[in-house]
Amino acid sequence: MMQARDVLVAGEARGPVVALSEPLSFWGGVHEREGTVIDVHHPQHGVSIAGRVLVMPSGRGSSSSSSVLAEVIRAGVGPAAIVLATADPILVIGALVAEALYGTVVPIVVLSPDDYARCASARELEVLPSGRVNLAQ
């Protein structure tokens, strides 16, 4: 069990982990109808984030990333949860807009460096509204 340093969007989710080695911009970096990484320069190009617990250092780039995150959530191809090493207000805005408009909650938490490393190498995670993060069995 790990406890988030910050709970940016409270919610509950469980799913397989997709760990990105570098920050990702949703604007131009994620296909809004498929939920795959389309940034050809990203090390995880082609990987699907749909229904997975997205573990990444932080978001990157433009404030437009919030609208793309909200859109992938609306389309049902967004991440189940987002686990970060560094807080990203742009991702929070996207998740909060999706919750308000579409009623879908995608929790976002920030972990300590040690806990983040544990999550990045996990197969499956569970994120709870309290900010507790469990390695799922």
Task: Name the residues annotated as catalytic.
Answer: 62
DSSP string over 40-89: TTSTTTT-B-TTSEEEES-B-S-TTHHHHHHHHHHTT-S-SEEEESS--H
3-state secondary structure of 24: strand
Yes or no: say if 16 and 123 are a contact pair by the CB < 8 Å rule: yes
For 14, phi then psi, to 5°, come to -145, 140
DSSP-derived secondary structure letter, 4: -
Cα separations in angstroms, 42 against 22, 28, 35, 91, 117? 7, 11, 15, 18, 19
